[in-house]
């Protein structure tokens, strides 16, 4: 497996400089899709929190990534498969992490986990499909944050904040009219359309780069994007990042 996240995990599993940052980056990015999947499997909030932390210990501390092979494909699939294995085997041990005795080896904030989980669809969608949808939202959020940083670095924070609603794919934000956006930015109607076009184009590029970091073959990027979009569509916009 030769994705960026493989490199991040390998760094996190090592004692090399930067390993703490790599470990925190990985856990902060993926804790919620993992947590929500565990909740969907019937565990309560406290157990899901402990199991999420325990899984991070398992995959990092036990160097589980070393058992991954390129044939296992997408990072998302590897991560879910590893979690299922952990739930089936590791938590059955007598020394499984218990409330009050868990090891918080990275600062993962679970405070909004239940609020987010309570807004997820309680229907026939499988835990796997919800996991895929949450992974999609994770990648979308990652792309948004990177794009935001780029605009801030260019001194265009106002442009990004004004036009950001035009990027929303979850249905949670209401984009202003072109006229309102143009007036706020002090540009013409044609000018604001050009700015939106550039923003969306760059967003698409950044998103493809983010997805590319989770697959082993560049030829899989389009298929992975389609799969993630299908998962989001199946969730009918009821998930929120």
The answer to which of 22-26, 40-44, 187-191, 201-205 has the lowest mean pLDDT is: 22-26
- The per-residue pLDDT for 89 is 77
pLDDT at position 103 over 50 = no
Domain coordinates in residue numbering, the chain:
1-95+112-118, 126-241
One-character DSSP codes across the chain: --SHHHHHHHHHHS-STTHHHHHHHHHHHHHHHHHHHHHHTT--HHHHHHHHHHHHIIIIITTGGGG--GGG--HHHHHHHHHHHHHHHGGGSTT---TTS----S----TTHHHHHHTS--SS--HHHHHHHHHHHHHHHHHHHHHHHHHHHTT-HHHHHHHGGGG--SS-S-PPPHHHHHHHHT--HHHHHHHHHHHHHHHHHHHHHHHHTT-SSGGGHHHHHHHHHHHHHHTTT----
Query: pLDDT of 129-183, one tens digit each?
Result: 888 888 888 888 889 999 999 999 999 999 999 999 998 765 555 788 999 999 9
DSSP state of 57: I
Nearest to 83 by CA among 47, 124, 131: 131
Model-level pTM? 0.69
241 pLDDT band (50/70/90 cuts)? low
- Mean pLDDT, the chain, whole residue set: 78
1-95+112-118: CATH topology: Rna Polymerase Sigma Factor; Chain: A (1.10.1740)
The pLDDT score that the predictor gives to residue 197 is 96
In this prediction, residue 191 has a pLDDT band, given cuts at 50, 70 and 90, of very high
pLDDT at residue number 96:
46
Work out the average pLDDT over 113-130.
73
Pick the more confident residue, 237 or 94. Answer: 237
What is the chain's length? 241
Better pLDDT: 78 or 23 = 78
Provide the pLDDT for residue 224: 87
Q: Which of 138, 240, 241, 157 is nearest to 199 (CA)?
A: 157
Check whether 98 has a pLDDT greater than 50: no
Confidence of residue 75 (pLDDT cuts 50, 70, 90): confident
Q: Which range has the top average pLDDT, 100-104, 195-199, 205-209?
A: 195-199
The 10s digit of each residue's pLDDT in 38-67 is: 998 888 888 899 899 888 888 877 655 555
């Amino acid at each position: 497996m030769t994705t960026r996240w493989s490199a991040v995990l390998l760094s996190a599993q090592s004692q090399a400089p930067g390993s703490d940052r790599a470990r925190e980056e990985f856990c902060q990015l993926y804790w919620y899709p993992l947590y929500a999947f565990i909740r969907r499997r019937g565990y309560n909030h406290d157990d899901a929190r402990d199991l999420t932390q325990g899984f991070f210990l398992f995959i990092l501390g036990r160097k589980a990534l070393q058992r991954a092979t390129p044939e296992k494909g997408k990072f998302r699939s590897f991560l879910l498969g590893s979690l299922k294995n952990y739930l089936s085997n590791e938590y059955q041990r007598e020394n499984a992490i218990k409330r009050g005795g868990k090891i918080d080896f990275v600062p993962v904030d679970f405070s909004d986990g239940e609020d987010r989980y309570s807004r997820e669809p309680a229907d026939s969608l499988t835990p796997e499909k919800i996991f895929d949808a949450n992974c999609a939202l994770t990648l979308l959020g990652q792309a948004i944050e990177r794009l935001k940083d780029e605009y801030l670095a260019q001194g265009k924070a106002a442009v990004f904040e004004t036009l950001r609603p035009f990027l929303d794919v979850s249905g949670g934000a209401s984009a202003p009219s072109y006229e309102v956006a143009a007036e706020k930015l002090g540009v013409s109607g044609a000018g604001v359309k050009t700015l939106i076009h550039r923003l969306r184009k760059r967003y698409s590029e950044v998103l493809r780069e983010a997805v590319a970091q989770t697959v082993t073959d560049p030829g899989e990027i389009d298929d992975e994007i389609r799969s993630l979009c299908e998962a989001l569509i199946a969730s009918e916009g009821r998930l929120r990042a």
